[in-house]
């Protein structure tokens, strides 16, 4: 039996220390101590701090304040709105459509909604909105160009080349420089109408306008209520034929009411009732003279 209390120092670890060391060498325990325990401490500290509703509120308030102070810095403030490419009327309309009270933080500006609000305005063809350095809300607008006047029962409208409505006018005479079209569905064939107007340049003095008939073909209306009925297919060619006839034989100068070109192989003329009466009378004289 060994002595109970050995005099010399025992190099052997006690059972507890031995087990402890083995325990600490276990990979799971080591990972737990290295990662799990700091994590648990942090979570516990954060949890105990946030357990109080007032502290939580204060923390949220602080975050909100910080955000606001950042947003209200002069670097992010937008002072004016610059509109390029728009007429004065359109500019006013845009300013009315986008009511902003400047200065405003650029974080509060929703550029996409501003853009869509401007894009729904009739005279606007396309628009891009951006914030320019220097605190300027830059709005670049491409305006629709008025090309024709469209008269309907509801009123008189100005259309661009794609047939989109630009604005409404009270009186045809306010835009005498633009050609006139009329009829249901005329706005869908503005391009064709423009071609016809170009072809009808020789008749410029007498041309009153175009009328869309049945949403498929055009009538050219001239002064003295003369009409040229064009076919739905290739109306420009038909019109050119009429103009050629007219120039050769002064057809349109005569007392003709309607030139019907709807059937290309059988152009038809309708004379005015007076002309018919005259013609009949002249024929009678000739027959009686025989």
The minimum distance between CB 2 and other proteins, in angstroms, equals 6
The minimum distance between CB 10 and other proteins, in angstroms, equals 7
Answer for the pair 107, 77: CB distance below 8 angstroms, yes or no.
no
Candidate residues 4, 5, 7, 15; the one interacting with other proteins per rule CB under 8 A: 15
Candidate residues 4, 10, 88, 133; the one interacting with other proteins per rule CB under 8 A: 10
Residues 106-145 that bind other proteins (CB under 8 A): none
**Rounded distance, CA 239 to CA 193, Å?**
12
Answer for the pair 129, 137: CB distance below 8 angstroms, yes or no.
yes
- Comparing CB distances to other proteins, the nearer of 33 and 80 is 33
> Contact between 99 and other proteins (CB under 8 A)?
no
The minimum distance between CB 6 and other proteins, in angstroms, equals 10
- Comparing CB distances to other proteins, the nearer of 30 and 73 is 30
The number of residues that bind other proteins (CB under 8 A) is 13
> Contact between 280 and other proteins (CB under 8 A)?
no
Candidate residues 5, 11, 51, 214; the one interacting with other proteins per rule CB under 8 A: 11
Residues 24-43 that bind other proteins (CB under 8 A): 25-27
The minimum distance between CB 29 and other proteins, in angstroms, equals 9
Q: How far separated are the first and last CA of the chain, in Å rounded?
A: 173
- Comparing CB distances to other proteins, the nearer of 15 and 266 is 15
213 to 252: interface string for other proteins, x by CB under 8 A: ----------------------------------------
Candidate residues 2, 48, 69, 290; the one interacting with other proteins per rule CB under 8 A: 2
The minimum distance between CB 4 and other proteins, in angstroms, equals 11
> Contact between 102 and other proteins (CB under 8 A)?
no
Q: What residue ranges bind other proteins (CB under 8 A)?
A: 2, 10-13, 15, 18-19, 21-22, 25-27
């Amino acid at each position: 039996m060994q002595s109970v209390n050995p005099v010399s120092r025992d190099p052997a670890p006690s059972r507890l220390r031995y087990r402890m060391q083995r325990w600490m060498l276990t990979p799971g325990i080591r990972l737990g101590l290295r990662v799990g325990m700091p994590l648990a401490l942090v979570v516990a500290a954060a949890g105990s701090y946030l357990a109080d509703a007032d502290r939580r509120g204060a923390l949220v308030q602080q975050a909100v304040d910080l955000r606001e102070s950042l947003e209200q810095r002069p670097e992010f403030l937008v002072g004016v709105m610059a509109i390029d490419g728009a007429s004065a009327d359109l500019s006013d309309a845009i300013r009315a459509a986008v009511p902003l009270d400047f200065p405003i933080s650029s974080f509060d500006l929703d550029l996409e909604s501003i853009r869509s609000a401007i894009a729904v305005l009739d005279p606007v063809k396309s628009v891009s909105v951006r914030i320019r350095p220097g605190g300027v809300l830059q709005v670049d607008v491409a305006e629709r160009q008025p090309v024709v006047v469209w008269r309907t029962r509801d009123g008189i409208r100005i259309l661009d080349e794609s047939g989109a409505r630009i604005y409404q006018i009270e009186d045809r005479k306010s835009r005498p420089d633009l050609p006139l079209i009329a009829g249901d569905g005329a706005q869908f064939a503005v391009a064709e109408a423009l071609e016809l107007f170009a072809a009808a340049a020789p008749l410029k003095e007498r041309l009153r306008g175009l009328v869309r008939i049945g949403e498929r073909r055009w009538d050219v209306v001239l002064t003295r209520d003369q009409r040229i009925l064009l076919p739905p297919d290739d109306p420009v060619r038909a019109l050119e034929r009429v103009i050629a006839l007219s120039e050769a034989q002064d057809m349109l100068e005569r007392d003709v009411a309607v030139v019907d070109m709807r059937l290309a192989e059988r152009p038809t003329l309708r004379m005015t009732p007076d002309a018919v009466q005259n013609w009949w009378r002249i024929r009678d004289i000739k027959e009686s003279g025989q």
